[in-house]
Homo-oligomer: A and B are copies of this chain.
Amino acid sequence: MAHYGYFNGTVAPVDQLTIGLTDLGLLRGYGLFDYFLTYNGRPFQWDWYWERFQNSASRMHLPLPLGKDETYAILLNLIEQSVGTDMAIRFVMTGGYSADSISIERPNLLILTEAIHPVPPMQYEKGIKVILDEYVREMAEVKSTDYKRVILMAEAIRAAGASDLLYQKGGEISELSRSNFFLVKGNRLITPNRHILHGITRRTVMQLAQGDYKVEERPVLLSELYDANEAFTTSSTKKVLPITQIGELVIGDGHVGPVSRSLLYQFNELIKDW
Protein backbone atom coordinates (compact mmCIF):
# COMPACT_ATOMS: atom_id res chain seq x y z
CA MET A 1 0.00 0.00 0.00
CA ALA A 2 1.34 3.36 -1.00
CA HIS A 3 1.80 6.63 0.81
CA TYR A 4 0.39 9.49 -1.21
CA GLY A 5 1.88 12.90 -1.78
CA TYR A 6 0.92 16.27 -3.22
CA PHE A 7 3.20 18.38 -5.39
CA ASN A 8 2.05 21.67 -6.90
CA GLY A 9 -1.47 20.38 -7.58
CA THR A 10 -0.72 16.75 -8.41
CA VAL A 11 -1.68 13.90 -6.05
CA ALA A 12 0.10 10.56 -6.56
CA PRO A 13 1.98 7.84 -4.65
CA VAL A 14 5.10 9.49 -3.22
CA ASP A 15 7.48 7.22 -5.12
CA GLN A 16 5.94 8.38 -8.41
CA LEU A 17 6.42 12.07 -7.67
CA THR A 18 9.60 13.81 -8.80
CA ILE A 19 10.96 17.34 -8.87
CA GLY A 20 13.02 19.13 -11.53
CA LEU A 21 16.73 19.65 -11.03
CA THR A 22 16.69 23.45 -10.99
CA ASP A 23 14.81 23.58 -7.69
CA LEU A 24 16.44 25.98 -5.22
CA GLY A 25 15.88 23.55 -2.35
CA LEU A 26 18.07 21.03 -4.13
CA LEU A 27 20.63 23.42 -5.66
CA ARG A 28 20.90 26.02 -2.89
CA GLY A 29 19.46 24.50 0.26
CA TYR A 30 16.69 27.10 0.15
CA GLY A 31 13.83 25.22 1.73
CA LEU A 32 11.78 24.86 4.88
CA PHE A 33 9.61 22.09 6.15
CA ASP A 34 7.38 20.85 8.89
CA TYR A 35 6.59 17.40 10.13
CA PHE A 36 3.81 15.98 12.28
CA LEU A 37 1.86 12.81 12.92
CA THR A 38 -1.76 11.78 12.69
CA TYR A 39 -3.51 10.11 15.61
CA ASN A 40 -6.76 8.29 14.98
CA GLY A 41 -6.44 9.57 11.43
CA ARG A 42 -6.39 13.21 12.50
CA PRO A 43 -3.36 15.54 12.19
CA PHE A 44 -2.10 16.20 15.72
CA GLN A 45 -2.03 19.88 16.80
CA TRP A 46 -2.79 20.99 13.26
CA ASP A 47 -3.44 24.63 14.22
CA TRP A 48 -0.05 24.96 15.87
CA TYR A 49 1.83 23.23 13.08
CA TRP A 50 0.17 25.37 10.44
CA GLU A 51 1.00 28.50 12.41
CA ARG A 52 4.67 27.47 12.59
CA PHE A 53 4.85 26.50 8.93
CA GLN A 54 3.37 29.89 8.00
CA ASN A 55 5.89 31.61 10.24
CA SER A 56 8.86 29.71 8.74
CA ALA A 57 7.65 30.57 5.24
CA SER A 58 7.32 34.22 6.09
CA ARG A 59 10.78 34.32 7.70
CA MET A 60 12.19 32.86 4.48
CA HIS A 61 10.20 35.30 2.32
CA LEU A 62 8.25 32.54 0.59
CA PRO A 63 4.57 33.25 -0.09
CA LEU A 64 2.38 30.25 0.77
CA PRO A 65 0.59 29.09 -2.38
CA LEU A 66 -2.30 27.57 -0.37
CA GLY A 67 -4.50 28.75 2.49
CA LYS A 68 -5.05 26.82 5.71
CA ASP A 69 -8.43 25.26 4.88
CA GLU A 70 -7.38 24.32 1.37
CA THR A 71 -4.25 22.66 2.74
CA TYR A 72 -6.25 20.79 5.35
CA ALA A 73 -8.55 19.42 2.68
CA ILE A 74 -5.53 18.16 0.71
CA LEU A 75 -4.18 16.60 3.89
CA LEU A 76 -7.37 14.70 4.61
CA ASN A 77 -7.47 13.48 1.03
CA LEU A 78 -3.87 12.23 1.25
CA ILE A 79 -4.54 10.51 4.56
CA GLU A 80 -7.62 8.82 3.14
CA GLN A 81 -5.81 7.57 0.03
CA SER A 82 -2.77 6.33 1.95
CA VAL A 83 -2.41 3.25 4.12
CA GLY A 84 -4.96 2.88 6.88
CA THR A 85 -2.90 3.31 10.05
CA ASP A 86 -1.50 6.51 11.43
CA MET A 87 1.27 8.19 9.48
CA ALA A 88 3.69 11.09 9.36
CA ILE A 89 3.04 14.18 7.25
CA ARG A 90 5.91 16.20 5.83
CA PHE A 91 5.45 19.66 4.33
CA VAL A 92 8.38 20.92 2.27
CA MET A 93 8.49 24.31 0.62
CA THR A 94 11.47 25.43 -1.46
CA GLY A 95 12.44 28.54 -3.39
CA GLY A 96 11.09 26.79 -6.51
CA TYR A 97 12.59 26.44 -9.97
CA SER A 98 15.07 29.16 -10.79
CA ALA A 99 16.35 30.16 -14.22
CA ASP A 100 19.61 31.60 -12.86
CA SER A 101 19.97 29.19 -9.91
CA ILE A 102 19.67 31.99 -7.38
CA SER A 103 16.53 34.11 -7.88
CA ILE A 104 13.18 33.03 -6.48
CA GLU A 105 10.30 32.96 -8.93
CA ARG A 106 7.54 30.73 -7.49
CA PRO A 107 7.94 28.36 -4.50
CA ASN A 108 7.48 24.62 -4.83
CA LEU A 109 5.23 23.04 -2.22
CA LEU A 110 5.31 19.32 -1.44
CA ILE A 111 3.12 17.50 1.04
CA LEU A 112 4.20 13.92 1.67
CA THR A 113 2.74 11.18 3.80
CA GLU A 114 5.27 8.77 5.26
CA ALA A 115 5.57 5.77 7.55
CA ILE A 116 6.23 6.72 11.17
CA HIS A 117 9.65 5.60 12.45
CA PRO A 118 8.86 5.13 16.14
CA VAL A 119 11.51 5.15 18.86
CA PRO A 120 12.43 1.59 19.96
CA PRO A 121 10.44 0.86 23.18
CA MET A 122 13.69 -0.06 24.97
CA GLN A 123 14.79 3.60 24.73
CA TYR A 124 11.80 4.68 26.83
CA GLU A 125 12.77 2.08 29.43
CA LYS A 126 16.51 2.78 29.60
CA GLY A 127 16.72 6.36 28.40
CA ILE A 128 19.15 7.45 25.70
CA LYS A 129 22.70 8.71 25.62
CA VAL A 130 23.51 11.89 23.69
CA ILE A 131 26.84 13.58 23.02
CA LEU A 132 27.58 17.27 23.26
CA ASP A 133 28.32 19.16 20.07
CA GLU A 134 29.62 22.74 19.92
CA TYR A 135 27.11 24.06 17.42
CA VAL A 136 24.10 26.26 17.06
CA ARG A 137 21.61 26.05 14.19
CA GLU A 138 21.50 29.05 11.86
CA MET A 139 18.08 30.66 12.14
CA ALA A 140 17.14 28.02 14.69
CA GLU A 141 13.57 29.35 15.03
CA VAL A 142 12.90 28.62 11.37
CA LYS A 143 12.36 25.00 10.41
CA SER A 144 14.67 25.23 7.41
CA THR A 145 15.77 22.04 5.67
CA ASP A 146 19.33 22.52 6.96
CA TYR A 147 20.06 19.32 8.91
CA LYS A 148 23.57 18.85 7.53
CA ARG A 149 25.13 18.81 10.97
CA VAL A 150 23.54 15.66 12.36
CA ILE A 151 24.08 13.72 9.12
CA LEU A 152 27.71 14.83 9.12
CA MET A 153 28.08 13.68 12.72
CA ALA A 154 26.31 10.33 12.25
CA GLU A 155 29.54 8.33 12.55
CA ALA A 156 30.64 10.20 15.70
CA ILE A 157 27.24 9.55 17.29
CA ARG A 158 27.44 5.86 16.44
CA ALA A 159 31.04 5.56 17.65
CA ALA A 160 30.03 7.00 21.03
CA GLY A 161 27.16 4.54 21.37
CA ALA A 162 24.84 7.55 21.47
CA SER A 163 21.51 8.34 19.82
CA ASP A 164 21.83 12.02 19.08
CA LEU A 165 23.64 15.34 19.54
CA LEU A 166 22.97 17.91 22.22
CA TYR A 167 23.98 21.31 20.82
CA GLN A 168 25.74 23.84 23.03
CA LYS A 169 27.66 26.97 22.21
CA GLY A 170 29.88 28.73 24.70
CA GLY A 171 28.41 26.62 27.47
CA GLU A 172 24.77 27.39 26.66
CA ILE A 173 22.56 24.46 25.72
CA SER A 174 20.03 24.91 22.93
CA GLU A 175 18.47 21.71 21.60
CA LEU A 176 19.10 18.25 20.20
CA SER A 177 19.51 17.82 16.46
CA ARG A 178 15.78 17.36 15.85
CA SER A 179 14.13 17.77 19.23
CA ASN A 180 13.93 20.02 22.28
CA PHE A 181 15.62 19.65 25.63
CA PHE A 182 14.29 19.66 29.21
CA LEU A 183 15.90 19.35 32.61
CA VAL A 184 14.05 18.34 35.77
CA LYS A 185 15.19 19.74 39.14
CA GLY A 186 12.84 18.94 41.99
CA ASN A 187 9.45 20.14 40.80
CA ARG A 188 10.92 22.50 38.20
CA LEU A 189 10.95 21.81 34.44
CA ILE A 190 13.67 23.89 32.76
CA THR A 191 13.95 24.29 29.00
CA PRO A 192 16.07 26.60 26.79
CA ASN A 193 14.24 29.55 25.29
CA ARG A 194 16.63 30.69 22.58
CA HIS A 195 18.57 29.37 19.58
CA ILE A 196 15.90 26.66 19.35
CA LEU A 197 13.10 25.55 17.15
CA HIS A 198 9.95 26.07 19.17
CA GLY A 199 8.70 22.52 19.14
CA ILE A 200 5.02 21.70 19.11
CA THR A 201 5.59 18.69 21.35
CA ARG A 202 7.61 20.97 23.65
CA ARG A 203 4.61 23.32 23.78
CA THR A 204 2.22 20.44 24.36
CA VAL A 205 4.34 19.03 27.18
CA MET A 206 4.68 22.44 28.86
CA GLN A 207 0.91 22.73 28.75
CA LEU A 208 0.46 19.25 30.26
CA ALA A 209 3.01 20.06 32.97
CA GLN A 210 1.60 23.41 34.02
CA GLY A 211 -0.46 22.30 37.00
CA ASP A 212 2.11 19.98 38.57
CA TYR A 213 5.44 21.64 37.86
CA LYS A 214 7.00 25.07 37.70
CA VAL A 215 8.02 25.50 34.05
CA GLU A 216 11.05 27.74 33.39
CA GLU A 217 11.84 28.84 29.82
CA ARG A 218 15.25 30.50 29.94
CA PRO A 219 18.89 30.12 28.87
CA VAL A 220 20.27 26.82 30.23
CA LEU A 221 23.98 26.33 30.98
CA LEU A 222 26.01 23.14 30.73
CA SER A 223 26.88 23.52 34.42
CA GLU A 224 23.23 22.93 35.29
CA LEU A 225 23.45 19.34 34.10
CA TYR A 226 25.39 18.31 37.20
CA ASP A 227 22.59 18.62 39.74
CA ALA A 228 19.65 17.75 37.48
CA ASN A 229 17.40 14.90 38.60
CA GLU A 230 16.28 14.03 35.09
CA ALA A 231 16.60 15.13 31.48
CA PHE A 232 14.41 14.38 28.51
CA THR A 233 13.82 15.42 24.92
CA THR A 234 10.58 16.10 23.08
CA SER A 235 9.58 15.82 19.43
CA SER A 236 6.62 14.56 17.45
CA THR A 237 8.31 11.20 16.93
CA LYS A 238 10.11 10.94 20.29
CA LYS A 239 7.19 12.23 22.38
CA VAL A 240 8.85 12.46 25.86
CA LEU A 241 12.09 10.51 25.64
CA PRO A 242 14.32 10.25 28.75
CA ILE A 243 18.02 11.16 28.45
CA THR A 244 20.08 9.29 31.05
CA GLN A 245 23.58 10.11 29.83
CA ILE A 246 25.15 13.20 28.23
CA GLY A 247 28.68 12.50 27.06
CA GLU A 248 30.35 10.87 30.04
CA LEU A 249 27.97 12.47 32.52
CA VAL A 250 25.23 10.29 34.00
CA ILE A 251 22.07 12.29 34.68
CA GLY A 252 20.57 11.86 38.16
CA ASP A 253 20.84 8.22 39.19
CA GLY A 254 21.15 7.07 35.57
CA HIS A 255 17.64 5.64 35.43
CA VAL A 256 14.48 6.95 33.84
CA GLY A 257 12.91 9.27 36.42
CA PRO A 258 9.30 9.64 37.59
CA VAL A 259 8.74 13.05 36.00
CA SER A 260 9.76 11.91 32.50
CA ARG A 261 7.66 8.80 32.96
CA SER A 262 4.62 10.73 34.13
CA LEU A 263 4.81 13.29 31.31
CA LEU A 264 5.14 10.53 28.73
CA TYR A 265 2.08 8.86 30.25
CA GLN A 266 0.09 12.09 30.08
CA PHE A 267 1.20 12.67 26.50
CA ASN A 268 0.14 9.17 25.51
CA GLU A 269 -3.23 9.73 27.18
CA LEU A 270 -3.69 12.96 25.21
CA ILE A 271 -2.99 11.37 21.83
CA LYS A 272 -5.09 8.29 22.62
CA ASP A 273 -8.19 10.46 22.54
CA TRP A 274 -7.04 12.92 19.86
Name A's B-contacting residues (CB within 8 A).
Answer: 5, 7, 14-15, 17-31, 33, 60-61, 90, 92, 94-95, 100-104, 110, 112, 114, 117, 138-139, 144-148, 150-152, 154-155
**Known contacts A29-B145, A144-B29, A150-B102; A19 and B21 CB within 8 A of each other:** yes
- A14-B21, A14-B22, A104-B151 known; 15 other A-B pairs, CB under 8 Å? A15-B20, A18-B18, A19-B19, A19-B20, A23-B26, A25-B29, A29-B144, A29-B145, A29-B148, A102-B150, A102-B151, A138-B138, A138-B148, A146-B146, A146-B148
Question: Given the complex of chains A and B, what is the CA–CA distance between A17 and B19 in angstroms?
Answer: 9
- Copies of this chain, complex-wide, total 2
Smallest beta-carbon distance A197→chain B, Å: 14
Contact of A29 among B18, B22, B147 (CB under 8 A): B147
**A104–B20 contact, CB under 8 A?**
no
> For residue A104, which residues in chain B have a CB less than 8 angstroms away from its CB?
151, 154
Closest to A112 in B: B21
Q: How far is the CB of A50 from chain B (nearest CB, A)?
A: 20
